[in-house]
Structure 1
Amino acid sequence: MPAKKQPIPSVWTRPRPQKQQPALSRAQIVSEAVKLLDAEGIEALSMRRLGTQLGAAATSLYRHVANKDELLELVVDEIYGEVAVPEAEDPARWRASISACAHSLRTTGLRHPWLTALLGHAGLVYLGPNMMRVSDRVLAILRSAGFPPGEADQAISSVIAYVIGMTGSEAAFLSLLARTGYTEQEWIEQLWPAAEQAAQEHDRLREEFAVQRGQDPVRAREENFVYGLDRILDGLQLRLDQLSGSR
């Protein structure tokens, strides 16, 4: 006989307690968790450490969340509340609207460098109100542009995967810099002689390095992000043209 399946463990799939503990609310717990993550990263977050920060026993947190994974679900949804999505007013401006949303997600991810790592965390369920709001508004933009149900979700999944991938790399790099005390420019200047030496026997790499030499690293990161995003949007526009031609 197969084992009895257990309920999916998620803060979004079980009833929220009716009575709240006056001294400690879910909002307080989430807010303090975000502060701790911003200051020290994922490794520093534990129920015990969070309880200490709040001046409460860790056991008192379990009234609001069953475990750390549920806390992370709440934290991710809290941060998604910072992502701005334009209204789907003009179908012809779908590209500008999706671009604005992508830039907002990137900015949010760089403001909270731990976010992109959590978005791929196994077991987390993304059904919070902020996540639902962002997803629904983005889908509204793509549906108004002409993407059918199902494909609209695939389109936005492609954009978000790109943003998370690029932002995750940027966030990891900037976190490293914060630990070393170098600025981006100082880091590049320190590494550049070694990079040029390593590329001596590789003509194409030397050509690329020569083009990049002297660029402002902050501006370069922004331009790299925009380049990739634009190519994805180019592809989505091509797909829209195909859909329009098949009608």
Structure 2
Amino acid sequence: MPMSLENDPGRQSSSQKQKLLVVSAESSGDLHAADVIRTLKTRHPSIEIDALGGGHLEAAGARLIAHVKELSVMGLSEVLWALPRILRVRKKVVKAIDENQYTCALLVDAPDFNFRLFKTLKKAKVPIVYYIPPKLWASRASRLKILKKYVSTVCTIFPFEKSWYEERGMQVEYVGHPVAEQTSDLAVDRKTLAPDDRKVLALLPGSRPHEIKRLLPFLLALVKSLKAKSLPLDFIVPRANSVDRQLFQPLESLNVTIEEERTLKSL
């Protein structure tokens, strides 16, 4: 867990109840942020947490101010189509910032959404911890100037990122990759997926409804084609909690197993 969240970077005194804002605009971020929140609440049971997120953050104890499924879009055309909805979600987050005295804001990945909150958070004097910062070492390095201006601490998931950001004058904490932590004690009993004499093929259409709808005809054709060959093969597909299970009904009709929020186990 980012230690910067425990160092009380906010403006409140120790006698006041601490309140954290978490902004996770993607389903993967919802999962990763929930791990952080569970650990934080174990150490600080009285902390209050508001979040833009999904089922994982809610289950971890956060109060949702907006649901991440409202932001599930992919590609320019979908963004334009969903722009009013995206702006409504942003308005909810801004309203929460204006109406609450947050000790700190934990922004998770999703720079295109999160960067637009920087000025609002600074105006409200809310310190920003950026968990899984943008990969500026790979592209759009010009955004570093903006990040340095508004962000108190970046929490990186790759070891080399720590020195990269430090060399450019930022306060950095290396916290490790969340997927590595999630799989470190993941024991999969393969026999629960398929008998020893059969193979398992995982279908991974993503967590965005429109993306799944586009890929579904190809997945159906693939499953039908392979089943027609009478291969010793079973199929599974993980479903993010931001996706309506009904979308996978055509696959279920072909006896494809739906794994609820278990992408890593499916692999």
TM-score (norm 1): 0.28
**Higher alpha-carbon Rg:** 1
Bigger RCO (CA 8 Å, 6+ sep): 1
More helix by share: 1
TM-score (norm 2): 0.27
More strand by share: 2
